[in-house]
Amino acid sequence: MTRWVMVVDLDRCVGCQTCTAACKQANATPPDVQWRRVLDMETGAYPDVRRTFVPVGCMHCDDPPCMSVCPSTATRKRADGIVTIDYDLCIGCGYCIVACPYQARYRTDRANFAYGGSNPNEAEAKCFDERRLGVATKCTFCVDRIDAGIEQGLTPGVDPEATPACVNSCIAGALHFGDIERAESKVSVLLAKNHHCRMHEELGTGPRIYYLQD
């Protein structure tokens, strides 16, 4: 059984937002919608302060709160663990947006582009997907790339064409993707060798983004 997970090495992340930008480009998200972003967090008080950069997005939880509140069954979970939204079923009620403890979901009601509101440039016009208006959206783990890559015999997390755009883009090598059920996968090896944690683990959602930290 395949189970896709993301592993984030916090000791490598420099908060550059390259993954944020790559995600926005790959998924053509409108302004201020960031399926992937990197938080800039401080802990402690001067002069004993730590500053940490934490990439966040949909955690593709084992028990996703967004799915259980969805009245239209638009939010589902695939066998490989990826949480999906069926835009044809979604009624845009926003329950899932409220329910998500990771603030990973968005809803955009009107077409909105980088410059001039409703006027797309040539690139935006080609990438615009009207089905995303008035519905919940979020990180998909670039599921289309994964599925298309697997069809071509590629391995997500190894072959760039089958790997989420944010992972491909990461200049620090902080983001990793792969099948946690395969012991030899990079993510399994990293998790086996390093101390790791998950965000809001106490909520019991079973998030599928793991954070490595020394």
Q: Which is nearer to other proteins, 163 or 185 (CB)?
A: 163
Contact flag: residue 71 with other proteins (CB under 8 A):
no
- Sign of the dihedral through C-alpha 56, 43, 212, 81: negative
3-class SS at 25?
Answer: helix
Distance between CA atoms of residues 193 and 195, nearest Å: 7
Residue 137 touching other proteins (CB under 8 A): no
- Segment 89 to 128, residues that bind other proteins, using CB under 8 A: 114-116, 119, 121-124, 126-127
Nearest residue to 166 via CA among 52, 57, 76: 57
- The three-class DSSP label of residue 36 is strand
* Contact status: 11 vs other proteins (CB under 8 A): yes
12 touches other proteins by CB under 8 A:
yes
Amino acid at 208: R
Residue 24's H or E segment, with its range, is helix 18-27
Figure out which of the listed residues 15, 92, 94, 134 binds other proteins, where binding follows CB under 8 A.
15
* Nearer CB in complex with other proteins: 69/172: 172
Which residues in this chain contact other proteins in the complex, by CB under 8 A? 9, 11-18, 20-22, 24-26, 31-32, 34, 37-40, 42, 44-47, 49-53, 114-116, 119, 121-124, 126-127, 160, 168-174
